[in-house]
Structure 1
Amino acid sequence: MGNLPLLKGAGLRAAIVGVCGWCFCLLGYDQGVLGSLIGLPAFLSALGNPTAAIQGLVTAIYSIGCVLGCIVAAFFGLRLGRRWCIMGGCVFVSIGGAGQAAVYSLAQMIVFRIIAGIGTGMISSTVPVWISEICGPKKRGQKTALQLTLVLTGNVIAYWLEYGTTQLPGDVSFRFPIAFQCLFPLVAFIILLGLPESPRILYYWNQGEAADEVLSRLHGYDSFLESSPVVSYEKQQILESIELENSLKDGSSITWRDVFWDNSPIRNSRRLFIVVVLQGLQQLGGCNVIAYYQTTLFTESIGLDDHRARLLAGCSALCFWTGTLPAIYLIEKIGRRQLMLWGAGGCTVAMLAFTILLALGTDHAGQGWGAVAMIFLFEFIYGSSWASTVWIYSAEISPLRFRHFNSGMGVLSQWAMTFLTVMMAPPAIASIGWKTYILFVVFTSLQIPFVYFLCPETAGRTLEELDQVFMKSAPPDVLHGVCSPSAGPIEKGKANKVKLDELSATCR
């Protein structure tokens, strides 16, 4: 177990949140690194000057690797633990990044894109889960929203680094920005060696002594014996939750029936359905098409010259990053549910206006710049709502026994839909133009009824309390204010033995 200079309390939590943020910065960098390079002559020459469809494949194949990484996390995440799953992902990303930087053929690029994607899938499936398990209910959403701000920080770094290097002659114009991604996983791996595993995983592994030590350190104590009743209460909640999950299945291993058709009070199949559809809908709204193809979108759909399109793509990434800042405050203030509802409505309006402006034609400067403004508006609204909320929501509503699987399947759904939309976008835009964006309008509008009818509020409750929300036998006082469509953020929980305010304060 890691023991980085005996960190404890806020320092230990900051170290874990920090290294998770560094890993998500890698995720953002990897998503944006090919956005400007895909049209670069030197890069296309190294790949043998592929067609538009093959260029789409090169970009989208990364998502297939991410899907494979999510499958690894889903099936082996509980056995590996949060820490080693992320460390394994860092190894894959390092190998994939180095291979892409040395690319001299199309096949080589595709293989190493897949390898890097496997690592990203493992990391992106596990980071939100680890954050949710080590942060208290009052800070859990904020810490995850911060991670998504760092995703966009990586995206901004990629765009502006490429804006500078694409002006350089020769292969260095694309090899350096691709190789730069290896810095993120190497640093993360070294830091992770000194950090402890999630206490919930250690309790699940029956490593009670190690779990007591980590849980006490997270609350700022040197040992469990010296800790406060708050630590004992949290331990009790965790152990009772594990005991309940095990008792319902007699401690047997997870079966396919448990996952997809769970009739037990845990009701994991309902939770898994929400997670998978929610994260799939996020991508079907077109967010990654804009992220991957901003330069192409500005040149082909709006008609800007290449230099101005690259400059605007960098500015758009900054706008997206700025949009994630309000979410750090709003995700706990108004709750996950309201943030997703308002975000879906705003994104629908922005995408609809963008589509209408393209349909009217961009020959007139006012219409062209209006379309650019709608892209900026879409990115800001998406960044302040769905970009961060669905990541924490998926981890929050899943029971401990299935949290790794549900998270993996949710992120798998996200990467699969990313592959679908990113692969489809270039030929669709070339073939039917503005009509392509009608699809994204439809799916952003579908997000509203899905969240309204199926997604209860989760803000302000411990993970163990959220288990009660979904259980068939949940008492009325647990369900009150949670499952009704009009419910706002959960009021501070009424714990039987300790006030949730006190628990939350110790988890900051």
Structure 2
Amino acid sequence: MFDEYIQSKFLRRLARFSCSVGFLIEGYQAGVLGGVQETKPFLDAIGHPGGTETIPLIASSSTLAAAFVSCLVMIIGMPLGRRNCIIIGNILITIGGVIQAASYSVPQIIVARVLCGAGIAFITCNVPMYMSEMSIEARERGPEVAINCSALLLGVALSYWVSFGFTRMTNQISWRFPIAMQSIFSIMSGISMFFLPDTPRWYYMRDRIEEGDKTLSRLYGVYRKGMPNYHDVPEIQDMKSTIMVSLRVEEESENKLTFLSIIWDNTPLRVGRRIRISFIILGIQQSMGINIMVYYMTRIFSEVGLSSFMASLIAALALTVQWMGSWVCIPTIERIGRRRIMMLTGSVQTFCLLIFVVLNMIENKTDATRWAAAMILFPYLFFYGWGWVGCPWLYGPEIAPLRYRHIGSAAGLLGVWVFTFITVFAGGIALKTVGARIWIWPLIFNVIAVIFVYFMCPDPTGKTLEEIDQLFAKDGALLDRLNQSDTEKECVHEVENSA
């Protein structure tokens, strides 16, 4: 009904809005509990649970569900499609957010967070794929996903500001309303996605050629009902031909993904290695200390020696600075490149975290020492927002072959949620038991991050999703296919024109 009206720039902007709000939910639900979990009204509602593991278990329960659903997406992601997975995720978050805001016990809030975690996994596994595959130019892909990731960090900062404002109150609304807000966002994201198509690459992958052609023509703004205008646009024919050739190459038996190839990859297109990198780079991302900071930021600043009010205020300011760092990523991700940005920012983060560890290990801290420890997190969060949010989230889905992109994206998100659970659950306990020594762990992973990117991550900046195959293929593996591609494209053109 709306096909002729929702196309070209309007279609891409609506997709950007829906996906950005979806990512905002992920950041918001990760941060909102951290802002209210230490307040008296929240603890009164859930019965003041004892034990050092209860609050970390509540905080991390959503990540276990997300890890399970990430595995599930590897199986059902392709049949369902990117669009339907995002819609399902928003439905689950809407239901889970309402239940969570109405909770009066630990089991009830854990069940609600499990539903939200499952919904978040459906969204985050598919949003980077969706935006990457809806881009019609290689230079659009990086900024589009960077905008989504900036929205994620906006969600984190927003959750702390909302919690900071509402926790000045002493009634049950002080924590229930901030948690319920995620359902409002999920309704907005889900409704807008309902009016959007799936990606042209997914349609072609599922042999739904006519719908793929229609979506491409809508992206280029030439679709008119009953008129196959895409035949008259060379760019559309070239893009379709490139996708179809790529699908044929990936379908060859030697490029099939197997469990063995993930461990020891001998495929010409290095399919297993690319899936493995997707998992590792996002696993490293979550081990660099950010989850401990986001979930327990208020507690961290309180233990540095600040009052409860100042700890909440500075936590909100620090996460706002992180969001501001993500703004820098949008104009630089294509100009500087993913690889160089990750190496540069990872090096600066290592330096900042080293200072933070040293200052927190001092036994007799002064006020100056405490404030210095708190302030050094600001540049750390700024550079993390610039380099280690948008770039890794984009890198995994864009390096995976089209036929296995849903697996590459889900593998990356499995890395996110497995290591998020480890850092949130173990980190929450460690903050109470081992104190400042816990920060040695993320310090080591910041060093590992720089080394891993240098040796294992070629830069896909400026290349189309189909051209990225050449970055990972064995020497000469694609030579024959590239020589044949022009001929195959001409054949596709002839078939299209004769039709």
| AA partner of residue 274 (structure 1) | I
Structure 1 residue matching 2:197: 3-state secondary structure: coil
Question: Distance between the aligned counterparts of 1:314 and 1:421, measured in 2?
Answer: 21
| AA partner of residue 47 (structure 1) | I
- Superposed CA RMSD: 2.2
Measured after TM superposition, the shift of residue 69 of structure 1 is 2.3
Counterpart position of 2:244: 239
Alignment deviations for residues 101-132 of structure 1 (CA, whole Å, 9 cap, x no partner): 11011111111111110000110111001111
Q: Is 1:284–2:287 an aligned residue pair? A: yes
Question: Distance between the aligned counterparts of 2:265 and 2:221, measured in 1?
Answer: 38
Question: Distance between the aligned counterparts of 2:488 and 2:478, measured in 1?
Answer: 19
Q: Is the 8 A contact 1:167 1:173 kept in 2?
A: yes
Counterpart position of 1:490: none
Q: Is 1:401–2:403 an aligned residue pair? A: yes
Counterpart position of 1:27: 26
Counterpart position of 2:160: 159
Structure 1: segments with no counterpart, 5+ residues: 479-494, 499-508
Q: Is the 8 A contact 1:93 1:119 kept in 2?
A: yes
Counterpart position of 1:39: 38
Pair 1:472–1:162, CA change in 2 (3 A): same
Output aligned runs, 1:441-460, within 5 Å. Answer: 441-460=443-462
Pair 1:159–1:4, CA change in 2 (3 A): farther
| AA partner of residue 245 (structure 1) | E
Q: Is the 8 A contact 1:66 1:118 kept in 2?
A: yes
Counterpart position of 1:275: 278
* TM, length-normalised to structure 1: 0.90
Measured after TM superposition, the shift of residue 475 of structure 1 is 7.0
Pair 1:362–1:287, CA change in 2 (3 A): farther
Counterpart position of 1:427: 429
Q: Is the 8 A contact 1:468 1:474 kept in 2?
A: no
Question: Distance between the aligned counterparts of 2:380 and 2:127, measured in 1?
Answer: 26
Question: Distance between the aligned counterparts of 1:108 and 1:362, measured in 2?
Answer: 43
Structure 2 residue matching 1:465: 3-state secondary structure: coil
Structure 1 residue matching 2:77: 3-state secondary structure: helix
Pair 1:291–1:5, CA change in 2 (3 A): farther
Structure 2 residue matching 1:68: 3-state secondary structure: helix
Counterpart position of 1:188: 189
Alignment deviations for residues 227-260 of structure 1 (CA, whole Å, 9 cap, x no partner): 421111110010011111123369xx96544655
Question: Distance between the aligned counterparts of 2:410 and 2:261, measured in 1?
Answer: 16
Question: Distance between the aligned counterparts of 1:254 and 1:96, measured in 2?
Answer: 35
Q: Is 1:14–2:13 an aligned residue pair? A: yes
Q: Is the 8 A contact 2:318 2:381 kept in 1?
A: yes
Counterpart position of 1:369: 371
Q: Is the 8 A contact 1:24 1:150 kept in 2?
A: yes
| AA partner of residue 114 (structure 2) | I
Q: Is the 8 A contact 1:221 1:227 kept in 2?
A: no
Measured after TM superposition, the shift of residue 315 of structure 1 is 0.5
Measured after TM superposition, the shift of residue 162 of structure 1 is 1.0
Counterpart position of 1:175: 176
Measured after TM superposition, the shift of residue 465 of structure 1 is 0.4
Identity of matched residues, %: 33
Q: Is the 8 A contact 1:362 1:368 kept in 2?
A: no
Question: Distance between the aligned counterparts of 1:169 and 1:274, measured in 2?
Answer: 47
Structure 2: segments with no counterpart, 5+ residues: 481-485, 490-499
Question: Distance between the aligned counterparts of 1:272 and 1:370, measured in 2?
Answer: 41
Q: Is the 8 A contact 2:35 2:160 kept in 1?
A: yes
Question: Distance between the aligned counterparts of 1:403 and 1:165, measured in 2?
Answer: 41
Question: Distance between the aligned counterparts of 1:7 and 1:185, measured in 2?
Answer: 21
Counterpart position of 1:388: 390
Measured after TM superposition, the shift of residue 370 of structure 1 is 0.7
Question: Distance between the aligned counterparts of 2:75 and 2:143, measured in 1?
Answer: 28
Question: Distance between the aligned counterparts of 2:382 and 2:230, measured in 1?
Answer: 48
Pair 1:477–1:313, CA change in 2 (3 A): farther
Structure 2 residue matching 1:457: 3-state secondary structure: coil
Pick the aligned partner of 2:418 from 404, 410, 416: 416
Q: Is the 8 A contact 2:282 2:392 kept in 1?
A: yes
Give every structure 1 segment of 4 or more consecutive aligned residues whose post-TM-superposition deviation is greater than 6 Å: 475-478, 495-498
Q: Is the 8 A contact 1:69 1:120 kept in 2?
A: no
Pair 1:497–1:142, CA change in 2 (3 A): farther
